[in-house]
Amino acid sequence: MTMTTGSVETLAGTLDRHARERGGHPALTAPDGTRTYGELRDDVARIADRLRRSGLRRGDRIAVLARNGPPYVQLVYAASWAGVVLVCLNWRLEPAEVRAVLDDSDPSLVFAEAEFARLLDAGRPVVWLDRAPDGDPVFASWRAAGDPARPPDADQDEESVALLLYTTGTTGTPKGVQLVERNFRHMAAQATAAWRMHAGMRFLACLPLFHVSGMSSVMCCVSMGGEVVVPAGTSVPDIAEAVQRHGVTHTTFVPTVLAGLVGERAAESHDLSSLEVVIYGSAPAGGSLIGDAMRMLPGTGFSQGYGLTETCAGVAIAPIHRHGDVDPRPGTVGAVVDTCECRIVAPETGRDVAPGEDGEIWLRTPQLTVGYWNRPEQTAAAISPDGWFRTGDIGCLDGAGFLYIRDRLKDMIISGGENIYSIEVENAITSHPAVFEAAVVGVPHPHWGETVKAVVVLRQGETLDAADLEAWLDGRLARYKRPRIIGFAAGLPKTGSGKILKHALRDKEAGRA
């Protein structure tokens, strides 16, 4: 029996239904083989049985510290099956940062790959996903001892917390975002329709599953009964090879991956024609990158979206465009989805602004988190009593309901009383053909309060100096918006999802890093 509450089917219920209706269809493919929906269901049921027999009860936490792979996907659905909460750990963090997340979430058990053993405290209960460094249990044998006949937890409903995802920390200390079963179901209903997903799709899981974009994309594929493909690695050759070998139809790329595919002319060395839709996001795709990618893949549709961890990924989705299409609304991140209400609010007054005017983006949606784990005060500060979430992003809505993002509220620069949006400056800089990417921050100025600083990364083999870039910006940006300080770097500090850590750049400028 499929487990549902009202009209909302849980993650475990979706998998159980697919296993009964199309058990022989490929569900999960990795370099070591393919698992059908029937096999994936049995794997998940075994894990859930072991979790329950280990003493875990509804609402208890388990954690995973691993790269994308079959065990990770199995644990996502096993947590829902057992009625426990999965904490997704970022393996790119330092030991003290991982320790802080574990101390905050307090999982009863951690599932980890051995390469990340240094990130874990000694004595913490661990099931190792590959090899056991200290004689602890190994996942395959641990899972095999479970009962595949165990049914999904009958008490799991639409308000049960499924995942605890920690914010990427672009503005400071990560917070645990509680996402419930209802959030994912509503998200999948919107995204699968907008991005033309279908039961025959094959989705390439490139983004890390500890990030909401990576996790939600995989869940969308499974919700359709499609096939999730995990590549051997995340390099451009690995990705291109996986697309060609498995006939991948859908995927999500951060702009740096798209730039790598374009730069290495991947379509000349690999057959990428199976790609139906490429979703890009998680960082600004400035300059000519998307146009170059469309020319490389003229038969592929491209789209982006806007969302946050707190909104379970996308709440605005851009129309799909192909090479040669005319974009009637350049710069939009898309129309706000049907189930989401959006307000643009003046931060100073709390009042709605007129269409076309900039303000803070407020959202109310069934995709919204129920709150931050262990942080009632921060939850109350972010979510109003009547359910409006203050995103901290600056943007505007046009008369047709299309959303435009200007900046993070904390990244907006105020210089001499003028508001300067860092994204606008970054887009002007990255329009230079020699520039790969750029980050713009405000730094203290004795007279103007703040002034604009740009940190620029050049494309491989290109040369450019500050004077040349200043000349390029002349006529493209108002004088007060142009960077007064220009630095060049080999790379920029980023989160695991590809977002630039601007607070790290500001800390460095202030001598705190």
**pLDDT for res 257:** 87
State the Cα–Cα distance between residues 373 and 380, nearest whole angstrom: 12
CATH of domain 419-509: 3.30.300.30
State the Cα–Cα distance between residues 8 and 406, nearest whole angstrom: 34
For the entire predicted model, the pTM comes to 0.84
First and final C-alpha spacing in the chain: 55
Q: Does residue 371 come out as left (phi exceeding 0), alpha (psi in the -120 to 50 range) or beta? A: left
| pLDDT by 10-residue block (mean), the chain, 513 residues | 51 97 98 97 98 96 97 98 96 87 96 94 91 80 96 91 82 82 96 97 96 95 98 95 98 87 93 96 66 94 94 95 88 93 93 95 98 96 96 93 87 80 88 92 81 93 94 89 94 76 76 45
* Pick from 355, 341, 423, 353: nearest CA to 389: 341
Per residue, what are the HEC states of 71-135? HHHHHHHHHHHHCCEEEECCCCCCHHHHHHHHHHHCCCEEEECHHHHHHCCCCCCEEECCCCCCC
Based on the number of CB atoms within 10 Å of its own CB, is 410 exposed (0-12), middle (13-18) or buried (19 or more)?
middle
**pLDDT for res 496:** 60
State the Cα–Cα distance between residues 226 and 224, nearest whole angstrom: 5
**pLDDT for res 170:** 45
HSE (side-chain half, CA atoms, 13 Å) at 394: 20
Query: Do residues 317 and 289 make contact, with C-beta atoms less than 8 angstroms apart?
Result: no
Tokens matching residue 95: 């030991």
**pLDDT for res 513:** 41
**pLDDT for res 3:** 40
| Residue 400: other Cβ atoms inside 10 A | 10
**pLDDT for res 282:** 55
**pLDDT for res 172:** 52
Query: Do residues 441 and 422 make contact, with C-beta atoms less than 8 angstroms apart?
Result: yes
Query: Do residues 57 and 46 make contact, with C-beta atoms less than 8 angstroms apart?
Result: no
Cα 150 from chain centroid (whole Å): 32
The torsion angles phi and psi of 325, rounded to 5 degrees, stand at: -70, 145
**pLDDT for res 48:** 98
**pLDDT for res 330:** 85
- Give pLDDT tens digits for 151-177: 999 888 999 999 999 986 544 567 999
CATH label, 334-365+374-408, candidates 2.30.38.10, 1.10.300.10, 2.10.109.10, 2.60.120.10: 2.30.38.10
Q: Where are the domains of the chain?
A: 334-365+374-408, 419-509
Collapsed DSSP state (helix, strand, coil) of residue 341: strand
- Give pLDDT tens digits for 427-442: 899 999 999 999 999 8
Query: Do residues 483 and 452 make contact, with C-beta atoms less than 8 angstroms apart?
Result: yes
